[in-house]
Chain A
């Protein structure tokens, strides 16, 4: 069993988090490729419960899968895979999704300056499919990717 990501003290995060309060749903699982299927199913369930259009659910799944794939590929590059946490916050007609890890964190060389073995499409894709994209280092190491999606009329049931 992978040790869960511990909640950080509110003083370390409250000012910086885009949303406050408890998530609508949070999934925590190992940062390995097999986990992406589980994350995508979680998002499908969320999208269906919020009555989102299939195309909107598809966009959610692609954007969040990119963030999770980055986590699986890079966060624990030099060590055994650790945990990955995907949190969804439904606030009216706005959905925030955070992908958080406890890995090596993000530095300039890991954000498109030659540090990634991939095609470099992940971040632009996430930015294009979401209404807002925020990247930051975690208060105690690791990385956080926050994405905002406007639900266009759908929302919490």
Chain B
């Protein structure tokens, strides 16, 4: 069953998204490292989505899958998915979300959604 989180991107959005995602990941049966990956990836989404969301509001739908947690971030502008991945970059580490999870960008409602999957098969290096 999915959980839906709406936040204003920024410090509060990042903190709330990170906590909620970590809890959902633990409930999905992910290991400790993947739980922390979920927290970091969701915190990055919630913190940095301001430049990518269409109306200043991030909607994050979190859904447990088999051994994984799937997060869908929307509604994003055209190009917003890639922009959000770039904006999550940490100096010296590069794009954080792509290092932690498998990602893809889907067309959705005239814009885009960024899908981030934690767990399951390992992300591409």
Q: Which residues of B contact A48 (CB under 8 A)?
A: 15
Nearest residue, chain B, Cβ from A1:
B2
The CB with the most chain B CB atoms within 10 A, among A23, A37, A49, A156, is that of A49
Q: Which one of B5-13, B90-98, B103-111, B112-120 contacts A?
A: B5-13
Which of B5, B11, B19, B24 has a CB less than 8 Å from the CB of A26? B5
Near A by CB (< 8 A), chain B positions 21-57 give 22-24, 27, 57
Chain A residues whose C-beta falls within 8 Å of the C-beta of B24 in the assembled complex: 38
Residues of A82-100 contacting chain B, CB below 8 A: 90
Contact A42 B20 (CB under 8 A): yes
Q: Is chain A's interface secondary structure helix, strand, loop, or mixed overall?
A: mixed
User: In the complex, are the beta carbons of B27 and A34 less than 8 A apart?
Assistant: yes
Q: Which of A26, A49, A156 contacts B6 (CB 8 A)?
A: A26
A157-B5 in contact (CB<8A): no
Given A25-B6, A27-B3, are A37 and B27 neighbors across the interface (CB < 8 Å)?
Answer: yes
A72 to B5, CA, bound (A): 19
Interface residues of B (CB under 8 A from A): 1-8, 10-20, 22-24, 27, 57
Name A residues whose Cβ lies closer than 8 Å to a Cβ of B: 1-2, 4, 22-30, 34-35, 37-38, 41-42, 44-46, 48-50, 90, 156-157
